[in-house]
Chains A and B, each alone.
Chain A
Amino acid sequence: GAVVSQHPSRVICKSGTSVKIECRSLDFQATTMFWYRQFPKKSLMLMATSNEGSKATYEQGVEKDKFLINHASLTLSTLTVTSAHPEDSSFYICSAPRAGTTEAFFGQGTRLTVV
């Protein structure tokens, strides 16, 4: 079964509003999580590294005030898209490593549509 769960899987919001996406590690602790976005027919683009108990590290070109990341516990990281605009519409995916394995476990993704 899934070891990383994202919620919601789909969300539609109005321009100007904020949307929060949750990423949970199930049955294991994740001090680090990663957030990606993916446009249709394109590859995953890393947005930021979420670190439990400290500030997130953003990739170049990603606005930290636009995409707020909070990793308040060892099993939960949240991505908040603030003042969303239609160009923020995308597929957002999180991943987390699990101790004892070398692979990354990905959530099922969140489809955000801003209207």
Chain B
Amino acid sequence: LAKTTQPISMDSYEGQEVNITCSHNNIATNDYITWYQQFPSQGPRFIIQGYKTKVTNEVASLFIPADRKSSTLSLPRVSLSDTAVYYCLVTLPSGGYNKLIFGAGTRLAVHP
């Protein structure tokens, strides 16, 4: 599976939109892009998954350009409770049935 690169950390303030970009230059044709969120001392939680263009759910949006070599997780109007580590992963379509390789993740700190 393709390696991913994302910023180590980001800071934001309550009410702002946060965009976290992930690079995955070697993504394969069958690969999906999946984002997980992890709070301290908890297991990761699925946020969103996409293959191309734009995906939106009640939590976030995921933007994927045509070449699919990068993707951007967008969190609208963050709150203090969005402070967490966000992981970008390249996954096969069967998702959770395959082992997941986590990169370093992005540590997001939301300030009052």
Binding site for B on A (CB under 8 A): 4, 6, 32, 34, 36, 43-46, 49, 91, 93-98, 101-109, 111
Q: How far is the CA of A103 from the CA of B94 in the complex (A)?
A: 8
Residues of B within 8 A of A97 (CB): 94-97
Number of A-B contacts (CB under 8 A): 67
Q: Of the candidates B43, B96, B105, which one forms a contact with A101 in the assembled complex, judged by CB atoms under 8 Å apart?
A: B96
Grouping DSSP codes into helix (H, G, I), strand (E, B) and loop, the B interface class, with mixed when no group exceeds half, is: loop
- Residue pair B42, A104 in contact (C-beta under 8 Å): no
Binding site for A on B (CB under 8 A): 32, 34, 41-46, 49, 87, 91, 93-97, 99-105
Distance in angstroms from B49 CB to nearest chain A CB is 6
Q: Of the candidates A49, A101, A108, which one forms a contact with B95 in the assembled complex, judged by CB atoms under 8 Å apart?
A: A101
Q: Of the candidates B34, B94, B102, which one forms a contact with A43 in the assembled complex, judged by CB atoms under 8 Å apart?
A: B102
Distance in angstroms from B54 CB to nearest chain A CB is 18
A–B complex contacts, Cβ < 8 Å, 5 sampled: A97-B94, A105-B46, A107-B43, A108-B43, A111-B41
Q: How far is the CA of A44 from the CA of B105 in the complex (A)?
A: 10
Residues of A within 8 A of B96 (CB): 95-98, 101-105
Beyond A44-B44, A111-B41, whether A104 also contacts B95 by CB under 8 A is yes
